[in-house]
Amino acid sequence: MLSALVWGVIAASSLTAGALLALLRDWRAGLVGGVLSFGAGALISSVAFELAQHGLKLGGPRPVAIGLALGALAFFVADRAVSKIGGRSEGGSGGLPLALGALLDGIPEQAVLGIGLATGKGVSVALLVAIFISNLPEAIGSASDMRKSGKPSKDVMSLWALVTFVCALATLGGYAIAQAVGSHVKAGIDGFAAGALLVMLVDSMIPEAKKKAGNVAGLVTVLGFAVAAGLSNLN
């Protein structure tokens, strides 16, 4: 269980790192979009080669399909709730909604790390890289907006440190749940995370990457997919 927490902190630490980078300097939208595109491709690969594949091996197609539908619906509803209070808009109300948006994206990603550890797979290098990279542009963009709105640097860092901590705890939660349930439920959890991530990618991450990176977004996304797919074969 301690290892799940440690790996969760490592994966989520890029949220704090991204906020710090945003406070140190201004970042071009194209660069942020490029990193976002690479992270999107890496996450797509993780959904295909880590979550869906592992879930099918554990419990077959039915629990994975049910998990996919439930995860997609849960993220859709939660994301709309966050959007209504400004969590997907520029600036937000004092920065808290922006942090809620990052938290909503991070929880299913991080929980899967813990599930992998609990099922004896060990740490997925591909998923770890995908989470770490995809966190950076979201934290940079959001923390930059907070800084421009006049929020003190100390408050920005405190807020993102809290988001990092909660996301790390999600890894621990994923580990604990996977330890307590059977293979069919674990397969459903894999499907749930995959469904949530797919909705996040299509509704939020990929459109933002295209907006910021322009025409190169597709190429960089494929590069991220290829790198993560290669890393999946190392596990």
Q: pLDDT tens digits, residue range 49-102?
A: 888 888 898 889 999 999 999 989 988 888 888 777 654 554 444 445 556 777
> In this model, does residue 116 exceed pLDDT 80?
no
Q: What was the pLDDT predicted at 96?
A: 59
Q: Are 190 and 48 in contact (CB under 8 A)?
A: no
What is the C-alpha separation between 114 and 175, in angstroms, rounded? Answer: 4
- Condensed to tens digits (0 to 9), the pLDDT of residues 180-217 reads 888 888 888 889 888 988 988 898 889 888 988 999 99
Q: What was the pLDDT predicted at 83?
A: 73
> In this model, does residue 32 exceed pLDDT 90?
no
Domain that holds residue 34: 2-232
**E strand or H helix at 31, and its extent?**
helix 29-46
Q: What was the pLDDT predicted at 91?
A: 42
> In this model, does residue 166 exceed pLDDT 70?
yes
What is the phi/psi pair of residue 150, to 5°? 95, 10
**E strand or H helix at 15, and its extent?**
helix 2-24
Single-letter residue type at 116: G
Q: How much of the chain, in percent, has pLDDT values that exceed 90?
A: 29
What is the C-alpha separation between 36 and 38, in angstroms, rounded? Answer: 6
Q: Are 222 and 40 in contact (CB under 8 A)?
A: no
Q: What was the pLDDT predicted at 145?
A: 74
Which residue would you say has higher pLDDT here, 111 or 100?
111
Q: What was the pLDDT predicted at 99?
A: 66
For residue 56, CA distances in Å to 53, 89, 183, 190, 221 come to 5, 37, 10, 9, 25
Contacts of 40 (CB under 8 A, 6+ apart): 134, 201, 205, 206, 209, 221, 224
pLDDT grade for 13, boundaries at 50, 70 and 90:
very high
How many domains in the chain? 1
Q: Is this prediction's pTM over 0.85? A: no
What is the C-alpha separation between 154 and 31, in angstroms, rounded? Answer: 25
Q: What was the pLDDT predicted at 5?
A: 87
Q: Are 110 and 174 in contact (CB under 8 A)?
A: yes
Mean pLDDT of 131-145: 82
Q: If you write DSSP's letter for every residue of 39-98 in order, what string do you get?
A: HHHHHHHHIIIIIIHHHHHHH-HHHHHHHHHHHHHHHHHHHHHHHHTTTTSSSTTTTHHH
Q: What was the pLDDT predicted at 103?
A: 81
Q: What was the pLDDT predicted at 193?
A: 84
Mean pLDDT of 153-166: 91
